Structure 1
């Protein structure tokens, strides 16, 4: 049997197997059970499509090797199979079941290279490789998935099927650079901010970000499974001292430590710290319940009373249990109700003698017992006690005021052009602008070495060693500016210093620069007086007496001014920053005193040349060299030589090789002076005197 015949037999056998699969699909369609066979529908349809594609290829091979006289027979076989395939595709039962699955959101990408690989793989599997999604819909999904810096190049791109491939390829060209991705991921590992204190949330964020970068490097085929030592050491440098000590204690007896062990330890520590924090908060809430000192289980309920503060004697109320003649406001700002003559009297409004009261202070948890405010006294009767005097509890609570400073929410641009949210304080009392060290690490901008002494209230001084230049932008308006920021660990405390109750305020319909201005929060930046007044438009809106004003700025409307609050003690904050120029001048003088004078490193021959030049060379008042003086003296001593040299120079001038300058010289035109001297050659039969022009020493006059 020849080779073509063997090939033909093989094709016939394969085609017969395909017929069997086709027949089984047709049997499935004819005997379909809606209750039991519904989940087989997609599998059967896939098998039918596969059989059809393989049949086309096999039938082509059969027609190639078989007898040409059977061509019509093969065409009939092809048509029959085509008809049965179409009939099966058209008559297969629909999958009438529906599963309500949760909505899957599209992945988002904002230009952060550490998240590119995850975005690329997710979008490819969900959208790009899905043949059921139309190309124009893929284009729509792609643009919806891009944010921030990644979306800017495609803002004006039309949503069409033709643009999808171009946009996807442009995105891959821009971000899918393995070499650049590796370098950025390595840099991101080093740039993660270290922890300064033990915090479960900050530790959790650190380990998550570190793990994300390591897994991204693994996707780029980096052998991270063999990097236990460098990964452990680098992550250890980022830990706070308490966590690092716990890790060293755990692994002190181990010789070989893997990176996965460190990650497991840190996640376990995060769970432990969160559990401890939750437990401490619950205990604090229980301890915060106030009990009256000296109370007993059998005592009566205390009298209900209201705290009364009097600012006008004319409206001072009288004790309701005495006559009008027996009361007077004697050093009273608030009062208590006591037991006197079996009646309840107001001791600060009644003139009669009152037994001395022993006061026992009770302090709320977390509050200081030393309060500058007038106290409010509450008496609790204790009939069963041996002491006839009433027991008194003391607490301090009165109305005080605080001042809201102007805080704004803005955007800061990092070295890659990415915008980061930040909270800033607008401070007219600061000569400089400041930024926290934590935010500067996130921005990763180029830092410059400085040596600036910053002084504040009470002449307190702090030395600044680094600064950076950053661009800040408004979230609400199209405003941006670039400023120099001095780097401090924490430029100021949380602002405001205490929570403010704004439930009774009437807000104007304006966009706030900091909607959470009344809640204490960290301040990332201080924008100083350099641009403070440029940021304000001069528009203000008052909220009424005892409330602050709304001020319009380039970042939105800020809230600033005095606020009356009810708080036992309000920390005061004063921002005043100046640059200590006296200290800088003192340091400059110190370095000048310590500077070493430069010493000469010339050799003996070089010193001789310097001396020779100084003793033999002179200049006129304009700074020019007198190079022709010696030549003139020489020619005066030898008239014959002078006449021969003059004839030679006249011939040079006649041939236009040189031109005599006539005073005054036009300094606007370029000209030069060439030193020259004669050379004599007595043996010459033509010219015994020649002129040597020393153009090496030419001087160009402007």
Structure 2
């Protein structure tokens, strides 16, 4: 209500209170009707009701107009009238009785209903129970205003039901509209009936054979059956049961077609469902189709094939056998879609929602009769010992599934109509993927099939530029420098900041950004270094290096062919060397970094303990919250081991020893602003052990709220027993 409307309501309340004052004062002066003690108590109850109603209006007015001072006048009027009534009652106020059920005294606004308010979360089968309870507890309470009823309604709703009426503003007029909205949304007999049928199949089974479980099952089924009978008949129940059983065995698309055919105004029957299923069968049969020949110059042959049954085979076709050999080749090789020399099953369809054809070939653009969507992708392959074309690369920030940004190396390709991301990098970012079949056809008719695509946000490290992009997921992106080259003589300007400072090193490419945003990120600014060197181009991602690089001429080695007669012993020794296990370095980059971190940080403290720093392979700022999970698992373990006193004592003894040895201590203050991780633990029993029958294992692979654990951020070192294995193999080889 507006401010004027609320003030008008307050004025009416004051008039009613003034009317009671006039009646009481007349009774006191004995110039009119003298009120009995019971009548005075009735007037006192009505006065209390009006006063509380007036205070409610006064509170609304003060919210809209803080300068209003009507509260004091209202209180003074109430005190005057109430004092007069109490003076006239005297001792009778405590002696006389008054019926509490009298309709003349409304219930106070602040009185909470004795019954518990119902909760409704949006299930159709629960709506009627909810609305009946709510109307009995809240709606029929005449002392509550519509605004108070509306607030009670919002407190009773959860989930989808709350979203249905959440948009309404809390006013007296909107209360009835919110109830009507809930009724139109959930008071649907068809949906209630179908959901109740579904509830029958979701009841838990009484597998253990206990009396309580069996009785609970019988009670639930009886209640659901009674609910179904209140909406439909036994025939409707049998039809819906049959429909539910059948729909549970068909595919999702067929289920969707069945739901689309419902009008939700009447209960469906099995006949309606059967018609939908038969129509679906007819569609699937027509879509699959049988093998047919292409267009032919002989109309009689085409007409005869049209009249043949669906399973007419080419080997049993009498008309086809009568053709000459050359005519047979024409009939088989001619495509019925484009009339070109290939079979119809080998025809490449234009771009559709299910399949896209992305091609580099320019011949398809020269054929106006076949509109094919084409796209170009980058191709870089040059094996020159001295000349090399450097493509533009940039190190950018990519947002992962948890909302954090991670570094990625992107290749900027102005000749690619599609964007790519490597499968390894997309898994690292935990990006959601969707099926999207794309056929990439490159130079030389080489075909690459892409099965998935994903979306991610790319952000510049140099400025606030940020854009969402969709990428096709591929196994790898080919470009990277074949070998590291020296750039000390390039004289790069000191006042520029390269977006990829390691462009001259062999580093994998994580992304390929194509023409879609290539020219949008270009900025004004280009520097040509020198003849034979690439150029520097300014972009929104930073300065990039691109162009032809001519390496300095190096002395080439001479090669000649020699004929040398070697002894049998030399050849035999060479054969033995070939059989020896390879001693090549099998460590990965991560294993080398882990080993290097260990060598740099390992030390022995004053107590003789070995101390080493955790080998983080990336910053742990993306670690989520882990305290709740660790606490939940700890409480569950405590509850489990308290049932076995002996096990409980062994666990306590182990943890006390663990603390006594200094392996753990109490954390008195936790800095929640910095990355932290609570490691859950559990006990492991080994009864056959003679020393330690119980030990505790810590689980650093437990996921945090960002679905990443501490182990996900730690590097994995090399296998320590690899050398021993090689030695054993070598021993067996020469024995």
| TM-score (ref. length: structure 2) | 0.23
> Normalized per residue, which structure has more strand?
1
| TM-score (ref. length: structure 1) | 0.24
Q: Which has the larger radius of gyration?
A: 1
